Amino acid sequence: MKARGWDVLERVRAGERLVFDGGYGTMLFAAGLANGACPELWNDTHADVVRAIHQGYFDAGSQIVETNTFGGTRLKLDEYRIGDRTRELNAKGARLARAAAPAGGYIAGSIGPTSRLPLDYALDAGVTDEEYLETFREQAEALAEGGVDLFAVETMMFPQECTAAVRACKAVADLPVMATMFFQYEENNDRDRTMWGESPAEVAKNLIAAGADVVGMNCGRGPDRAIVIIREMRQVTDAPLVAYPNAGLPVTTGDTVTYELGPEEMAREYPALLDAGCDIVGACCGSNPEHIRRIRDVVRGRSPRK
């Protein structure tokens, strides 16, 4: 029997646009997570809070909601000296999201960067492709055990790390893999590139070649650049595309960080994002359920993509 996560691809290929969720760091900090603390540990110590965040996004109209496991690889959790809890915290994260999901809701297992540089670029002890593959495989196995419907490899900056994560996911479960990279806007050149100089078109082609089923962008400057990135990706692929940008740039006032775009301002950009060829839309840093509610309204008002 085919996993229900594959329904996401079928719905998109039939022309439907789907709504992803919003920021997690934003919500966790608002709930009291301290700077420098481990977000994934809250899957154990503050399970009710994490589940309520998932519930808030489903209630706002998200059809796909992520797990609170962005930094859940052993390489990342080792920074908090809890690498031995990798499987536990990821499986708990998946089960918390599943517990909040309505009957038709999908759970995406979040897999973010390890914060360790590839061997070729590191000034200290870098990470080999094999080490990346091993750490992502461990996380993906735990997420699959916890019951995710698909994987969300996200906010990746280095091609080696992203492709290793995609391959690890494909190796452990017959589930769709969504892969997104972080793009930096180069103002002088008026273009968007990854930290290692890849264009959106190159990223789309490389990630699909690695086995990703859905490709796109997340985080970054905001929906204005997401429109450009998705348009460039659509020129080279018919694969499903996803975008969940930040709510604009961060604004720091003393110890407080806010973001430029409120829910209404951010949602105004989404008709153009859908017109650019995006199939799955959400938001990232600085967003909350109200942003998603406004984005949902935009999606509901659009005709199916041909």
Tokens of 80: 């908090």
Domain boundaries defined on the chain: 6-300
Top-level class of domain 6-300: alpha beta
Distance CA 51, CA 64 (A): 14
pLDDT tens for the chain, 306 residues: list them.
Answer: 789 999 999 999 999 999 999 999 999 999 999 999 999 999 999 999 999 999 999 999 999 999 999 999 999 999 999 999 999 999 999 999 999 999 999 999 999 999 988 877 766 778 898 999 999 999 999 999 999 999 999 999 989 999 999 999 999 999 999 999 999 999 999 999 998 899 999 999 999 999 999 999 999 999 999 999 999 999 999 999 999 999 999 898 877 888 999 999 999 999 999 999 999 999 999 999 999 999 999 999 887 776
What is the full DSSP assignment across 169-215? HHHH-S--EEEEE--EEETTTTEEE-TT---HHHHHHHHHHHT-SEE
Distance CA 298, CA 302 (A): 7
Tokens of 237: 């692929």
Q: Supply the pTM of this predicted model.
A: 0.96
For residue 213, with 0-12 CB atoms within 10 Å meaning exposed, 13-18 middle and 19 or more buried, which class applies?
buried
One-letter amino acid for residue 233 of the chain:
M
